[in-house]
Chains A and B, each alone.
Chain A
Amino acid sequence: AQSVTQLGSHVSVSEGALVLLRCNYSSSVPPYLFWYVQYPNQGLQLLLKYTTGATLVKGINGFEAEFKKSETSFHLTKPSAHMSDAAEYFCAVSVGNEKLTFGTGTRLTIIP
């Protein structure tokens, strides 16, 4: 069975600093990997996804993530944090064509 672990339920960074949100997955076969963002009282919005091909994936709002098979990781990064990035971020994994399994989320706070 697949699973997702997001290290750090809360992350705080200063405006303009690097954002790094960690995600590790467990799967015996190549997975599909996703990052979603959720703003207060809203649904989830896809930031980026990895299915096949290039392991460095670029998404919306300046975010990117790298699929590292050897480390079973799919960490999310952004070079320079903006106040508007404050939200909850969810990593999700799907194997084959099975349902998405979400992590427990990381709440990102931006310090002015």
Chain B
Amino acid sequence: EAGVAQSPRYKIIEKRQSVAFWCNPISGHATLYWYQQILGQGPKLLIQFQNNGVVDDSQLPKDRFSAERLKGVDSTLKIQPAKLEDSAVYLCASSQGDLRNTQYFGPGTRLTVL
């Protein structure tokens, strides 16, 4: 089966610009996650969707980050405006259900903010 797809793979922007990342989960997976992985750290959950509803966005910096999952399939994560500290790899993952189920990760988008 096809894995989790993400685009773009790399993005370089200047601070205060906006950027958007796209994720297409594995077909049939109801749960979608966005993680931020800063160099030298483990991934940190930004937002979790169950179908097209938000389950957990407690660690999403809502003043600059937004995410949506229209129709319960694809998802977009946006940053506006970007800050230097947003430089990281943004990982999308999907699973069939709750946390006992395996999360499948995409290859990530590496964002560099100059």
Contacts and interface: CB of A to CB of B under 8 A. Distances in A.
A90 B42 contact: yes
B2 interface: no
- Contact size class for A? 20 to 34
Contacts of A97: 98-99
Contact of A43 (B45, B48, B93): B93
A46 B98 CA distance: 15
A43 B108 contact: yes
Nearest to A102: B42
Interface of A: 4, 32, 36, 41-46, 49, 51, 90, 92, 94, 97-100, 102-105
14 contacts: A42-B107, A42-B108, A43-B105, A43-B107, A44-B43, A45-B105, A46-B102, A49-B102, A97-B98, A99-B56, A100-B99, A100-B103, A102-B44, A105-B40
